[in-house]
Structure 1
Amino acid sequence: MKGGEEEEEEECVEWGCQVQGHRCVCEERECESHTPLLSEDACYDTLKKVLCNNVICPEVRTQSCPADSFLTHSFTPPGHCCPLVVAQCTCNFQLCSPEPTSCPEDTRPQLVAKGDGHPGTCCHRYECVREED
């Protein structure tokens, strides 16, 4: 201490979230509180468990996708109990083969199946076919 001045104590403040009513409230508060604070993600997880405890979501059938596509993830926005967007098959266009640039002698590339961008028929299919005179 200097010249009789008292050192000021720094105020202890912490930031976190807690469930209040039907929402997560995130704020700073004094450290002396005995109620534990949560991270924002943990608060929303807790809130969802509380709000969704007695909710029964419609059953969604798990599907398998064709080889040219993959299954997306369902999406449940914060504050909702059930998915608003269900998982679905989506084309993986990186698996599509390009039109061949070369074929064996006396053959040429030909489109044999036109892809329509839907799972199972995502990509065009080409084959080397014999050239006709």
Structure 2
Amino acid sequence: MGSGIFFWVILACAAQELLASNCTECDKSKCPPAPISCPGHGATDPCGCCRHCARHEWEPCGGENWQLGYCDRRYRCAAVNGTGNVEIPDTGVCKYVGLMGDYWMDDDLNCPLVYGCQVRMGFCECTAIRTCVDYFSYSDDETCKKNNPFDMGPPSGPEEVDYSSQICWNTGCDLVGGRCECGRSDCGGPDFKFRTQKECNDALVLVKCADVHCPEPPKMDCSNDSAITKTYTPPGECCPTVPSFCTCDFEKCAKCPYKETKVNVRNATGFPGDCCDEFYCVSDQET
């Protein structure tokens, strides 16, 4: 038992060392503006360099030093062609994991071990998982219990609330030196010109790209078992730097009915036109 655990520790360390060898020295000047809000979760790339909004389905990911970002929960940064995950410095695409399990919640060897806590069923649950995506609401058990709305503690007498001690701030963005800089200031401090990073970025693009004509994207004709990925335009830039690709949509592949097991006849290559395995289904009672 002990030797088995030791083997997995060695394997995890080796994976981390291999990843580190693919990361060059962090250049913060190449990072996108730090997000102040995201449609999903925030993330830090596996190289530990840049903060960004985690990418969603069919969006590009990976690239050199993970400069195209990392995928949000329920997605994995898959290779554009093939059935495996992307290997940097290649460009990948975020794909839905579906019935294969929650990849993001599974210990992700691309990412550091993060400890934190969540409130579940009225109690603080603390654990450590390998993840690059923001997940935990609290950094430790003490902070979680202090802020847990379900854990009111023993009744006590009336208390005066000192509202002057409550934290208050404004968030927003301004255009500085031809790029959006976002942050927050104390209430009563200077106001930001833009409320969100998107508003600021849209204003920057409107001025910067007024006379820029981006090349027409080629028409994509993907096979029935694949999907078209989304383009990627760096914040504040005019034209996409990553075009659309055809990539396998494994959710379109047939699946065995409940209580039947898949038996492969031929494994697919994972290239558009050959995304789905050839197989037959066998009742679990027969296996």
Q: TM-score range by the shorter chain?
A: 0.5 to 0.7
| One-letter amino acid matched to 1:117 | G
Corresponding residue number in structure 2 for 1:55: 212
When residues 122 and 14 of structure 1 are mapped into structure 2, their CA distance, relative to the original with a 3 A threshold, is closer
Q: Which residue of 1 aligns with 2:238?
A: 81
Change (3 A) 1:23 1:110: closer
Letter in 2 for 1:37: K
**Partner Cα separation in structure 1 for residue 269 and residue 213 of structure 2:** 37
1:21–1:115 CA distance, 2 compared to 1 (3 A):
same
Counterpart residue number, 1:125: 278
Offset of residue 98 of structure 1: 5.3
Q: Which has the higher contact order (CA 8 A, sep 6+)?
A: 1
Describe the shift of the 1:127–1:54 C-alpha distance in structure 2 as closer, same or farther (beyond 3 A): same
Deviation string, structure 1 residues 74-93 (Cα, Å, up to 9, x no partner): 11110221111111111011
Which structure is higher in helix share? 2
Normalising by structure 1, we get a TM-score of 0.61
In the alignment, what sits opposite 2:199?
42
Aligned-residue sequence identity (percent) comes to 37
Secondary structure, counterpart of 1:18 in structure 2:
strand
**Dislocated runs of 4+, deviation >6 Å:** 99-102
Q: CA RMSD in A?
A: 3.2
Q: Indicate how the Cα distance of structure 1 residues 120 and 47 shifts in structure 2: closer, same or farther if over 3 A, else same.
A: same
| TM-score, length basis structure 2 | 0.31
- From the superposition, tell whether residues 114 and 16 of structure 1 become closer, same or farther in structure 2 (CA, over 3 Å): closer
CA distance in 2, matches of 1:115, 1:26: 46
After TM superposition, list the pairs within 5 Å mapping 1:1-133 onto structure 2: 15-26=171-182, 28=185, 29-30=189-190, 37-39=193-195, 40-97=197-254, 111=265, 114-126=267-279
Structure 1 83/127 Cα, relative in aligned 2: closer, same or farther at 3 Å? same
| Separation of aligned partners in 2, 1:122 and 1:15 | 45
Q: What is the aligned length?
A: 105
2:243 alignment partner AA? V
Whichever residue aligns with residue 174 of structure 2, its letter is: Q
8 Å contact kept, 1:97–1:125: no
* CA deviation profile, 1:33-89 (whole Å, cap 9, x unmatched): xxx721222011100111111112122113132111111111111022111111111
Check conservation: 1:70, 1:90, Cα contact below 8 A: yes
Q: Distance in 2 between matches of 1:62 and 1:47?
A: 28
Which ranges in structure 2 are unaligned for 5 or more consecutive residues? 1-168, 282-287
- CA-CA distance at 1:26 after TM superposition: 4.0
Amino acid in the other structure paired with 2:202: D
